[in-house]
Amino acid sequence: MIEATELTKNYGNVTAVNRVSFSVTEGELFGLLGPNGSGKTTMIRMLTGQTPPTSGSSRVMGLDPANDPIGVRGLVGIIPEQETPPSFLTAEEYLHFVAGIRNLDSVDERCDRWFDLLEFGDKRDVLCKDLSRGTRQKLMFAQAFLHEPRLALIDEPLINLDPIMQRTVKDFLVDYVQDGGTIFISTHILEIAEEICDRIGIIHNGRLLHTGPVDDPVATGRHLESFFLDLVRGDAGA
């Protein structure tokens, strides 16, 4: 589903992502872990054609995001970390707006499903600017899955959600993968990865330090946290 080869992104003199290669196969829940500023968001932006790589290449569902960003974004679902829905549309209007862009049918049914699952149907007629951050995140979640994509890329999936909703979302992601979908998440919260991911990558200062099954550190008798900290601190000291 995702194949990254030597992906590099420079912003001026700063190298945000440095020759990163990895792959994600169908039906996998892959977590890219790293401290703040390690290159996770830039990686998602490159994989979804939101920014072109400085060098290297990638394939997402068979398409090259650098050459066909619209094709990639048409296929996948994306939840960016920072973006918020348009201020002066209601939650329901925003989902209809996204459905219009994606040429979807049965829009009311699709919307109702997400209002029910994420329990924010009572906010459907409220302007997005008046929604709480948590509700906006639910709305961003709904827009990403409205077209039932086979692959979703999510930047910090549980940000601003309360513990009850975090449970709902984690269960949804696990079910989604069990039903054949593929998820790529980036996060700095190790517990999320430990709980739901099949495989992880650890990125620091733009370099991918490790990829492998999430159980690997546990199998060798170590917690993911100490494994992560040793890797990152070792890299920082190198």
Question: Which is closer to other proteins, CB of 97 or CB of 172?
Answer: 97
Task: Judge contact between 9 and 46, C-beta under 8 A.
Answer: yes
Task: Verify binding: residue 160, other proteins, rule CB under 8 A.
Answer: no
- Positions 29 through 58 that interact with other proteins (CB under 8 A): 48, 50-51
Question: Which is closer to other proteins, CB of 159 or CB of 231?
Answer: 159
Instruction: Tell me how far apart the alpha carbons of residues 178 and 30 are, in angstroms, rounded to a whole number.
Output: 13
Identity of the amino acid at 36: N
Task: Verify binding: residue 132, other proteins, rule CB under 8 A.
Answer: no
Task: Verify binding: residue 74, other proteins, rule CB under 8 A.
Answer: yes
Strand partners for 185: 31, 154
Written as six digits, the tokens of 182 are 């593929």
Task: Verify binding: residue 197, other proteins, rule CB under 8 A.
Answer: no
Task: Verify binding: residue 129, other proteins, rule CB under 8 A.
Answer: yes
Written as six digits, the tokens of 133 are 């951050």
Q: How far is the CB of 159 from other proteins (least distance, A)?
A: 11
Mark residues 84-113: x for contact with other proteins by CB under 8 A, - for none: xxxxxxx-xx--xxx-xxx-----------
Decide: helix, strand or coil at residue 235. helix
DSSP string computed for 104-120: -S-HHHHHHHHHHHTT-
Which of 226, 227, 187, 193 is closest to 209 using CA atoms?
227
Rule CB under 8 A: choose which of 36, 82, 105, 221 binds other proteins: 82
Task: Verify binding: residue 189, other proteins, rule CB under 8 A.
Answer: no
Segment interacting with other proteins, rule: CB under 8 A, options 17-25, 75-83, 163-171, 187-195: 75-83
Task: Verify binding: residue 187, other proteins, rule CB under 8 A.
Answer: no
Instruction: Tell me how far apart the alpha carbons of residues 18 and 7 are, in angstroms, rounded to a whole number.
Output: 7
Instruction: Tell me how far apart the alpha carbons of residues 184 and 28 are, in angstroms, rounded to a whole number.
Output: 8
Strand partners for 171: none
Q: How far is the CB of 54 from other proteins (least distance, A)?
A: 13
* Residues of the shown chain interacting with other proteins in the complex, contacts defined by CB under 8 A: 11, 48, 50-51, 70-71, 73-74, 78-80, 82-90, 92-93, 96-98, 100-102, 125-127, 129-130, 144
